[in-house]
């Protein structure tokens, strides 16, 4: 363990020198204000048109019920809306506003929406070239000629990556809160959020529903996002080992992720898609109680699929990295 620490230190410093993390922070600094502004407009519009949130929510329910009557709406959407309507009804019945405009609520919905594509994308930004860049620049030879075992070198890179995944998620949380708080205020930590909706087909079973304070919800949500981000990081890591060029490695991972987010929208017609890792990334849906992309998926299933992909990727990465010849 003692000899791995200096390696991790070395990798971390390299990562910081590459300024990749800085780029991520800059992206967040640009994007979050844009979303905050959009959200502010929505809140403003609701304030103008409706007397209080109860009416807004009821209108949302009625509007969705109306679209259920239309034959033009695809069945999967109907199913999704039916489930959401029942959840909103639950909030309304218990006189709890699910989307009070405040800083913490903004963070919650931002994280929810970015967990399938945006955060994985940022994780990729640091993970995709962690090995391949050493090859592109030729420094891999320097690294491997040292009297250190190859798997230790790869492990140090993996540990560094883990550090940065944690940092990226936390930074997103913090920046989101600080920026959105300017507009919506910094309150909302104690606001109750309902979780535990059980979905059977199109019916929502409310018997296990319980309120959690929003801060706890955020922590749990963050944890679930962390898990899927780690899986993305490990897969990107593997590709970075397998592919020589950084560009190729980024494009491969990006294609997989975007295919995933497209598939989640239309996967119901292809049930086997549930074995793909990218369809399983949005673990937060299980917490929020929204319907999974494909019927029959649940948390255990998704965690298993993700773990299998990650373990396989780790195996391949270490196997290839320790055995392959480094040619130039």
Where does this chain bind another protein (CB under 8 A)?
Answer: 8-9, 12-13, 16, 50-51, 54-55, 57-59, 61-62, 65-66, 69-70, 89, 92-95, 162-167, 169-170, 195-196, 198, 206-212, 216, 219-227, 283, 286-287, 299-300, 303
The Cα–Cα gap between 315 and 300 comes to 22
Q: What angle do CA 122, 218, 61 make, to 5 degrees?
A: 100
Toward another protein, which CB reaches closer, 54 or 319? Answer: 54
The Cα–Cα gap between 228 and 307 comes to 9
The CB-of-252 to another protein minimum distance in angstroms stands at 26
The CB-of-188 to another protein minimum distance in angstroms stands at 18
The Cα–Cα gap between 307 and 305 comes to 5
The CB-of-220 to another protein minimum distance in angstroms stands at 3
Toward another protein, which CB reaches closer, 11 or 134? Answer: 11
Q: What angle do CA 250, 299, 75 make, to 5 degrees?
A: 85
The CB-of-213 to another protein minimum distance in angstroms stands at 12
Toward another protein, which CB reaches closer, 13 or 311? Answer: 13
The CB-of-75 to another protein minimum distance in angstroms stands at 17
The Cα–Cα gap between 199 and 211 comes to 17
- DSSP H helical ranges for 50-128: 53-69, 75-93, 103-114, 118-127
Q: Is 149 helix (H, G, I), strand (E, B) or coil?
A: coil
Q: Is 199 helix (H, G, I), strand (E, B) or coil?
A: strand
Toward another protein, which CB reaches closer, 93 or 325? Answer: 93
Spell out a b/e string for 31-69, using b for 16 or more CB atoms within 10 Å of the CB, else e: bbeebbeebeeebeebeeeeeebeebbeebbeebeeeee
Toward another protein, which CB reaches closer, 11 or 129? Answer: 11
The CB-of-251 to another protein minimum distance in angstroms stands at 27
The CB-of-217 to another protein minimum distance in angstroms stands at 9
Toward another protein, which CB reaches closer, 16 or 262? Answer: 16
The Cα–Cα gap between 249 and 271 comes to 28
Toward another protein, which CB reaches closer, 180 or 224? Answer: 224
């Amino acid at each position: 363990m003692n000899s791995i620490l200096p390696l991790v230190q070395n990798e971390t410093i390299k990562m910081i020198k590459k300024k990749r993390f800085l780029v991520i922070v800059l992206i967040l600094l640009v994007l979050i204000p844009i979303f905050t502004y959009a959200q502010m407009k929505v809140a403003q519009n609701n304030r103008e048109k409706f007397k209080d949130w109860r009416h807004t929510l009821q209108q949302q329910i009625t509007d969705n019920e109306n679209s259920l009557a239309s034959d033009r709406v695809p069945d999967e959407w109907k199913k999704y809306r039916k489930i959401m309507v029942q959840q909103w009804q639950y909030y309304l019945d218990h006189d709890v506003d699910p989307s009070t405009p405040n800083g913490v609520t903004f963070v919650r919905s931002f994280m929810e929406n970015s967990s399938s594509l945006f955060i994985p994308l940022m994780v990729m930004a640091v993970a995709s070239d962690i090995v391949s860049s050493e090859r592109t620049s030729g420094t891999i030879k320097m690294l491997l000629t040292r009297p250190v075992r190859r798997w230790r070198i790869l492990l140090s890179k993996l540990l560094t990556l883990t550090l940065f995944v944690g940092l990226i998620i936390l930074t997103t949380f913090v920046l989101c809160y600080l920026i959105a708080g300017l507009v919506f205020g910094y309150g909302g930590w104690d606001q109750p959020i309902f979780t535990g909706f059980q979905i059977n087909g199109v019916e929502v079973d409310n018997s296990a529903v319980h309120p959690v304070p929003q801060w706890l919800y955020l922590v749990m949500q963050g944890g679930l996002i962390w898990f899927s981000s780690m899986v993305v990081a490990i897969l990107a890591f593997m590709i970075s080992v397998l592919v020589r060029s950084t560009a190729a490695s980024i494009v491969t991972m990006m294609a997989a992720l975007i295919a995933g987010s497209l598939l989640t929208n239309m996967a119901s017609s292809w049930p086997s898609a549930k074995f793909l890792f990218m369809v399983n990334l949005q673990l937060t849906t299980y917490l929020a109680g929204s319907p999974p992309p494909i019927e029959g998926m649940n948390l255990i299933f998704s965690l298993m699929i993700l773990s299998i992909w990650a373990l396989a990727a780790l195996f391949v990465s270490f196997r290839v990295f320790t055995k392959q010849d480094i040619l130039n």
